[in-house]
């Protein structure tokens, strides 16, 4: 799906909430601002981000004295874009790998059900399409279904996978994968991990063990730790991001399932709340339905 299609529900709900916030008013007054604040919070933009947006609009209202509600949408779009200027964004705008980092190792983390396996499949598809050779590693050895699902994706996309029997040591799978990737001359290695946030210490230990064994082969691996979040859970995704980033060094975020939800405003909250860039967004179940997040495009399509 295109970004516009993928964000359809969020956009409709977002714009209609704003519409209701200003209904029957010709100028932006305190009541309109109150309503707008409520509308943004209920659109999952997050309290911090909403307060910043409202403050900026208040300033504009003071400066301009008379501000018509007809101008509010444009103003809102500008101010949302303005606060996102400082949000981190990744340097790599396409499926290229940074120079000198071959194989580029991506470790994917996130709790079960958020769309981790699907995102790995989509990433593999995109890297392959960009002419890169890809190898997958099934280091989520706790769920048989995880290995099966990843195997299905590897067949669908046509990329090899390294796996071991269920219950094997995830670090051993990661080691095998990196070793095999180096031997094969792979460009990109993507490693799935088990996301069990309910046991934070265990998770930290496991991820650091995976990292340690990889480092025996590639000292600066993983080059990317990608946290996958389910955008359709709204503020829960924000909460999960807080917990995960406290438990491990996450370097990029992927927000999935933005199609079929009206809670896409959470992307703004996440982009604005973390020093970690949102790198990818998922807008469907198919392999084509992954996009590189662009904050300007995202805001544009919310208002177009």
Residues annotated within a binding site for GTP: 110-117, 192-196, 256-259
Considering the rule CB under 6 A, would residue 284 count as an interface residue with ligand GDP? yes
Check residue 116 for interaction with ligand GDP (CB under 6 A): yes
Contact between 170 and ligand GDP by CB under 6 A: the answer reads no
* Helix %, strand %, coil % of the chain (to 5): 50, 15, 35
**180 closest CA partner among 163, 157, 155:** 163
Question: What are the b/e assignments for 203-232, b being 16+ CB within 10 Å?
Answer: beebbeebbebbeebbeebbbbbbbbbbbb
Interface mask toward ligand GDP for 237-256; x: CB under 6 A = -------------------x
Q: Decide: is 163 part of the binding site for ligand GDP (CB under 6 A).
A: no
Dist. CA 170–CA 182, nearest whole Å:
18
Q: Does position 259 bind ligand GDP by CB under 6 A?
A: yes
x-or-dash string of contact with ligand GDP, 117-146, rule CB under 6 A = xx----------------------------
- Only one residue has tokens 């370097």, namely 251
For residue 121, whether the previous peptide bond is cis, meaning omega lies within 30 degrees of 0, is: no
The reply on whether position 114 binds ligand GDP by CB under 6 A is: yes
Nearest-approach distance from CB 7 to ligand GDP, in angstroms: 12
Cα 130 off chain centre by: 21
Beta bridge partners of 281: 255, 291
- Cβ proximity to ligand GDP: between 37 and 140 the closer is 140
Out of 4, 38, 148, 285, the residue judged to bind ligand GDP by CB under 6 A:
285
Binding site per annotation, positions? 110-117, 192-196, 256-259
- Applying CB under 6 A, the residues found at the interface with ligand GDP are 110, 112-118, 149, 256-257, 259-260, 282-285, 289
């Amino acid at each position: 799906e295109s970004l516009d299609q993928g964000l359809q529900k969020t956009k409709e709900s977002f714009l209609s909430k704003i519409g209701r916030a200003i209904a029957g008013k010709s100028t932006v007054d305190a009541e309109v601002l109150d309503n707008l604040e409520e509308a943004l919070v209920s659109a999952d933009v997050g309290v911090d981000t909403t307060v910043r947006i409202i403050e900026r609009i208040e300033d504009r209202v003071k400066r301009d004295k008379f501000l018509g509600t007809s101008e509010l949408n444009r103003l809102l779009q500008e101010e949302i874009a303005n606060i996102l200027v400082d949000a981190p964004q990744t340097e790599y705008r396409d499926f290229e790998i940074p120079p000198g980092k071959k194989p580029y190792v991506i470790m994917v983390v996130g709790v079960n059900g958020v769309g981790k396996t699907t995102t790995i499949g989509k990433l593999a598809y995109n890297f392959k399409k960009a002419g890169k050779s890809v190898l997958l590693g099934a280091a989520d050895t706790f769920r048989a279904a995880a290995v099966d699902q990843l195997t299905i994706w590897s067949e669908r996309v046509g990329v090899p996978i390294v796996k071991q029997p269920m219950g094997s040591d995830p670090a051993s799978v990661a080691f095998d994968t990196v070793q095999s990737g180096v031997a094969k001359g792979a460009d990109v290695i993507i490693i799935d991990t088990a996301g069990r946030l309910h046991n934070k210490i265990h998770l930290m230990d496991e991820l650091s063990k995976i990292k340690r064994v990889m480092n025996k082969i590639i000292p600066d691996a993983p080059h990317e730790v990608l946290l996958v979040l389910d955008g359709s859970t709204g503020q829960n995704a924000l909460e999960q991001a807080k917990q995960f980033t406290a438990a491990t060094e996450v370097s990029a975020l992927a927000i999935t399932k933005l199609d079929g939800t009206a809670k896409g405003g959470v992307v703004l909250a996440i982009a604005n709340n973390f020093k970690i860039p949102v790198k990818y967004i998922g807008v469907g179940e198919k392999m084509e339905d992954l996009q590189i997040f662009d904050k300007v495009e995202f805001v544009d399509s919310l208002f177009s």
